[in-house]
Structure 1
């Protein structure tokens, strides 16, 4: 009996992985890439560029939308709690820009966008460190499996933000310095495919199984 049961479990896992690349998720990813293109070009309009606060606000909003859209592709939207999750992902993708004001030591938007060095949360080396630390903290606090996706949410929110910023500044890989700026279409491609990469990594680490149990169904994203 053990062999058929194990076979059924493995079959269910394989189906869940294949659903990661379902038609709906691929359309959602294409829409995400299109949104990046439209939003970034909207940012270049003169009336946006001539108002510093408006430009910063819109730029940060785009970060938030990319973060929540990416996480929505990963988990799907089936329950009310799913909407709370994607909103949290969007918040995480945008809130890290507050470190500009922290480093500037001022609420002046001009000072915040003209820093001599990049602010601390924009160091890409911190992403795996923060995600792993959060996972350890959750394990130490013995949080329920329903929280198991938090490190991955943090990963996709921060990574999407850093990749988009990388078009202008490259990635800050401490202690090695900055990479060359990321080409625009590479940024769009990475952003559109990042949710699927995240889903595969979650599958390989067993996180998707826990989330499927949490949602009551095999996740179809």
Structure 2
């Protein structure tokens, strides 16, 4: 009796288990790094500012938002076991990080000045820090991508959602969320860590649910020639 099929099956199971374990380890490691860098950034904000270090602290805070956005989007792919060294994955992650940092430009627009004193002493939070508005923008981009059968546009809706939510979540540690016309209390640290860690998993799941639901409905109603590449890398065509 040959044991080769049994051994092959066991080897495949072991490889799959090791891969899952490796993905989980990488996910936890990067999530921990994100939280660690974020908390260090918050400590920087408590440093007494002067004319020399004020710009450095402000720039560091903005860059940390970008760092969190970059790795949060990377975790969306990692959670599915998708290779993260692909050009498109790194490009999307870079765009997410850049968007997360660029949100702070609304401080400059609201202040109508590049003077840091004007920027940091606004009477109200600037418009891109309104979570209700950024959610509306995200949903609009997502819907536009689906209506126009453009998955690139739809994907950017998720990227913008990730960039804005991670940015607002970090700010909410100190100021709470601004859900116009309401403002919440500051988010507890445990809730921040839990939300930041769980978000990529939830986002990845929602992306696949929306995509598969959309494809099923349209495959039954018409013959659109539309390709969808899921976060897991599987390509489906209607």
Gaps spanning 5+ residues in structure 1: where?
1-14
**Counterpart position of 1:36:** 38
Instruction: Count residues in correspondence.
Output: 197
Could you tell me how far 1:166 is from its partner in structure 2? 0.8
**Which string of whole-angstrom CA distances, capped at 9 and with x for unpartnered residues, describes residues 11-58 of structure 1?**
xxxx9xxx6x73432332233223323333355455799622111100
**Counterpart position of 2:229:** 211
**Which string of whole-angstrom CA distances, capped at 9 and with x for unpartnered residues, describes residues 31-90 of structure 1?**
322332333335545579962211110000000000001001112413122111111000
Is residue 163 from structure 1 mapped to residue 169 from structure 2 by the alignment? Answer: yes
Could you tell me how far 1:91 is from its partner in structure 2? 0.6
**Counterpart position of 1:93:** 100
Structure of higher RCO (CA pairs closer than 8 Å, 6+ residues apart): 1
Measured in 2, the distance between the counterparts of 1:34 and 1:50 equals 26
**Counterpart position of 2:123:** 116
Measured in 2, the distance between the counterparts of 1:34 and 1:118 equals 26
Q: Is residue 89–residue 157 contact of structure 1 (8 Å, CA) maintained in 2?
A: yes
1:132-211 matched pairs, under 5 angstroms: 132-143=139-150, 145-175=151-181, 177-206=182-211, 210-211=228-229
Q: Is residue 146–residue 154 contact of structure 2 (8 Å, CA) maintained in 1?
A: no
**Which string of whole-angstrom CA distances, capped at 9 and with x for unpartnered residues, describes residues 100-120 of structure 1?**
111111111110110001101
Q: Is residue 169–residue 177 contact of structure 2 (8 Å, CA) maintained in 1?
A: yes
The secondary structure found in structure 2 opposite 1:32 is: helix
Measured in 1, the distance between the counterparts of 2:92 and 2:65 equals 16
Q: Is residue 142–residue 158 contact of structure 2 (8 Å, CA) maintained in 1?
A: no
Q: Is residue 141–residue 154 contact of structure 2 (8 Å, CA) maintained in 1?
A: no
Gaps spanning 5+ residues in structure 2: where?
1-15, 79-83, 216-227
Measured in 1, the distance between the counterparts of 2:115 and 2:230 equals 45
TM-score (normalised: structure 1): 0.77
The secondary structure found in structure 2 opposite 1:74 is: helix
Measured in 2, the distance between the counterparts of 1:148 and 1:72 equals 17
**Which string of whole-angstrom CA distances, capped at 9 and with x for unpartnered residues, describes residues 88-141 of structure 1?**
000110101111111111111110110001101111111321111112332454
Bigger-Rg structure (1/2):
2
Measured in 2, the distance between the counterparts of 1:126 and 1:85 equals 22
TM-score (normalised: structure 2): 0.72
